[in-house]
Amino acid sequence: MSLRLPSEIVVQDVLPTLRVLLARELSAHDLTQQEVAAHLGVTQAAVSTYVNGDPDLEPRVADHPRTAETVERVAAGLADDEMDGYDALAAVLELVRAFEDRGPVCELHEEAMPELEGLGCDLCVRGANPELRREREVLDSVREASRVLATTPGIVGYVPNVGTNVGTALPGADAVSDVAAVPGRIYVMDGSVEVPANPEFGASKHVSTTILAATAVDPDRRGALNLATDDALLDAARARGLDLLEFEADYDDRGDRLRERFEDRGAVPDVLYHRGAFGIEPITYVLAETGAAAARLAAELVADAEE
């Protein structure tokens, strides 16, 4: 693990870029290099390099529209004596804080520490807390599920045309935003399963609807994934003694209807499927305690079906 603080990202990546851009903008206001150096707290030689050389810039900072607005405003204020050092510092700090909250600093921090990937920099913004830990566990579950799907032999044949997704809900979830899934769905490309992005909360309405209906009846059922309905897969599930339930593909208010079905039977099934309808592809859902558990069960069913 590479332990990096967000302040290190600011010092090493953000401030050097801001200094170069400010130096160039101040020079454009006809300030001498010595005057620019005094404003920025650097040497005249450094200003010469900023203005005349080709220093490295962090593009996510340099090209950000908020950077351009701040640099132009600060340079104009300093050049016209409408800003002093305090005002300029306040403007730059405002920019840095904005970048630390799901902005370029957050993105750079996640690259430096992959353990933060997908957390949206909440650790830095909100601090460590039990809620954040639960969110991380849910995201980790979906990541694990994605890895299982991507490495399961034969799974390609069970990915529906609309794609597969896998989700895990937070404890007590009652909205799509409480369910983490893969943005854009998992799909097949060149004979392999492709996972297009890291999991995010609120990324899938369809799998979330099924999970929310399940967890409303059984709080321990917080994970699910969808596959193409296939008789061999369903037979494998029956052979394992799993609980199966068929439902109509064209349910209106599917979440409410599924919840009613679960409540009527007094249990959430392990496998939920439909045979399709006009314009609706046949889909099977595998449900479990988490998305990762659902993916492992799906992998076992695929292996059984392929025998």
Q: Convert the pLDDT of each residue in 39-79 to its tens digit.
A: 999 999 999 999 999 999 999 999 999 999 999 999 999 99
Burial of 204 from C-beta contacts in 10 A (0-12 / 13-18 / 19+): buried
- The amino acid at residue 28 is A
Q: What is the DSSP string of 17-50?
A: HHHHHHHHHHHHTT--HHHHHHHHTS-HHHHHHH
Domains for the chain: give ranges and CATH numbers: 6-116 (no CATH), 130-306 (3.40.225.10)
241-285 per-position pLDDT tens digit: 999 999 999 877 899 999 999 999 999 999 999 999 988 999 999
Cβ pair 200, 256 in contact under 8 A: no
Report pLDDT for 9.
86
Residue 134 CA, distance from chain mean position: 15
The order of strands in the sheet holding 179-181 is 200-201, 179-181, 166-169, 223-228, 283-288, 271-273, 244-246
Nearest in space to 233 (alpha carbons), one of 270, 278, 288: 270
Is residue 241 within 8 Å of 224, Cβ to Cβ?
no
pTM value > 0.75:
no
